[in-house]
Structure 1
């Protein structure tokens, strides 16, 4: 009997800050980009700051809306959802 690892409902989200912009990259374990994934950005008080969608390469970027810790939520549909946290210190300024 042969078994393979299961990655059901897994999706990857990576974010980094460059200047006054936050860049995100979203992809599935097999390397495919998350196309048109819904991205929501919340502040430390869980207030929605902005939302948008990933492009054809799984990328999304935005100007820093508030110099505070934030959580980025990616919903790639069909149960594929993940978060990425950015601390206040990472934002600079």
Structure 2
């Protein structure tokens, strides 16, 4: 191999290693309403639950209503804080973030 290509190849390899964790998996959050409570499930594309993930809940005006953390199984639940369109955000570290939107009509039983 030409001596000029070795540094370029090494640099390319390092870039691939640095970027690959962001390609390795994404995060998802799912939410549903049951008996005046909202239940969330957060997991990576590998199927692994998001442990100790930060959950944020915002209303339609983007005001933060509450915050919590997922458990060891990626679960978090809470009483309906407000009848409004709700955005539920999971922050799973290393820039992994996902949003699930519950429509106001989903909250009225």
Choose which of 53, 56, 59 in structure 2 pairs with 1:37. 53
Structure 1 or 2: larger helix share? 2
How many Å apart are 1:10 and its aligned residue?
1.2
Give the gaps of 5 or more residues in structure 2.
1-21
Partner of 1:81: 97
Cα distance in 1 for residues equivalent to 2:24 and 2:87: 23
Structure 1 or 2: larger strand share? 1
CA RMSD of aligned residues (A): 1.3
Q: Does 1:17 align with 2:39?
A: no
Per-residue Cα deviation, 1:7-65 (whole angstroms, up to 9, x for no partner): 44510110000011000000001110000000000000000000000000000000000
Cα distance in 2 for residues equivalent to 1:38 and 1:9: 18
Give the number of aligned pairs.
88
Greater RCO (Cα-Cα under 8 Å, separation 6 or more): 1
**Higher Cα Rg, which structure:** 2
Normalised by the length of structure 1, the TM-score is 0.90
Give the gaps of 5 or more residues in structure 1.
1-5
Choose which of 46, 49, 62 in structure 1 pairs with 2:65. 49
